[in-house]
Amino acid sequence: MKKLIFGLFLIISFISSVSACQYKVNEIYHEVEMGLYDSSGNYVGEPLILSNFSGGYQNIAGCGPLSIIISNPLSFDINVEINFTARHDGIIGWPQEDYLISRAITIKSFSSEQIVGDCPSVGGSRLLEDSIEYVITSPKLLIPKMQEVEKQKEICKICPNEKQCLDDGASCDLPIVCGSNICNPDNKCGTFQGCSQGKKLCNNISCLTPSIKKTEEAYLCDWECASGTIACNGICRNVSSKKIGQEYYCIEECKSGYGKENKCIRNPNVARNLLILFISIILLILGIASYFIIGAINEKRGRRKEKEIIKEAEEKAEKIISSAKNKLKRLNDEIEKSEKLKTELNSLKKGSIEARKIKKELEETNESIQKERIRQEEEIKNTLEAYEKRYSHRFVLDNKGYIRFAKGFISAGIGGYLHRWIYKNVHGKINDGYEIHHKDFNKFNNEINNLEELTPKEHQNKHLNRYR
């Protein structure tokens, strides 16, 4: 009993230590333990289980023989010969004595039988547990003995950084520290489930905090720049901070909103207004000049000089008008250049808007792909959990999409596949060389009414004719 309690304690301690981590691997170790071996020394199975030791008695109330329960953990029926010693501790007038008891018994697979000894002559007797010896005589000779055997146990997985691999959801900087070998954009191990509160996904690379970058700080996504700044060529810059003549990186830095050759310029509309003002001044000058010319003509009152004075005034007016036309032409040239520059600026802004639109569509597509991957993984997880709950076994999904028993489960003729195991359990066997087909072609649907036994050729034709 003490050995049993100690063994249970070791098992509970081992399970607790392994369950402390998500990612595990199997470690091979050797242990000396009791087992059943055939005459060639081959290991056959676990030893018989002896329990419920009961002493005997003989008194005025009658006889109560000693007994013991023997359980067969093997998958086949066995015949057992067992010997053990019973001890009468003695009473007044009756000395202590030992007597040997031998029995032969048949025990079915995974069943138990009670062996009953003899009643003592008088008083009580007890079974000496250390004296028990047995041998299995059929279906073949099996002998219990202690021998070193190779075993496996689960231990926490060690990552390339020589430390225990981190579970999903733990903080990480590099994929090599995670058991999943995935360090997602939120700097957490495992499949990306979305950014932490207060953060946004940037270029499907990293989760960053919006509106946190100050002037002259570098950014990855334009929404990192704080209010009052503009995302410009990888650097956050102040809006409307550049004066006329100062160099700029992005046109939004200019207070005027206009630039040329990387320098801020005046609003071209100002030049147009100046032109109108200049023409008005010229007209005013012409009017004043005309007034004085007419006055001069009236003062001289000479008809003879009238034509000469008018001609002289006209010549002066023509010179003034010619000069005004030249200046007007130069101003028109400046206005034309300003309009071309404005057109180029609008074209650049339009291209920037298109680029941002394409970028947003790409981010939405990547997000849809990520959600679909998560949905598929959730479906696989739920399916495995449903079968594990139903059959009390752990299952895995192989690279062909079939559900299989996890390592440690052995059953002949099924190759570890759940659907073959279910079919064999219901129908009793699977013919040699035959395959089990899913009628609806869904490898997750392993209900018995969805399974049928086919030859490999029949199975192949089913799949070839599926879409015809």
d(CA 353, CA 158): 49
pLDDT band, residue 305 (cuts 50/70/90) = low
The beta strands (E) that lie in 163-322 are given as 200-202, 206-208, 229-232, 235-238, 259-260, 263-264
What integer pLDDT is reported at residue 409 of this predicted model? Answer: 58
pLDDT band, residue 345 (cuts 50/70/90) = confident
> For residue range 373-419, what is the model confidence (pLDDT) as tens digits?
888 788 888 888 888 888 888 888 888 888 988 875 555 456 688 89
pLDDT value at 124 more than 50: yes
d(CA 64, CA 102): 18
pLDDT value at 371 more than 70: yes
Q: What is the reported pTM? A: 0.35
Task: Calculate mean pLDDT across residues 267-290.
Answer: 77
DSSP H or E run through 97: strand 97-107
d(CA 364, CA 370): 10
Which residues make beta-bridge pairs with 247? 263
What integer pLDDT is reported at residue 286 of this predicted model? Answer: 83
Range in 169-173, 306-310, 338-342 the model is least confident about: 306-310
What integer pLDDT is reported at residue 430 of this predicted model? Answer: 92
Out of 54-58, 224-228, 273-277, 360-364, give the one with best mean pLDDT: 224-228
pLDDT value at 170 more than 90: yes
pLDDT band, residue 18 (cuts 50/70/90) = very low
Average pLDDT of the residues of the chain? 82
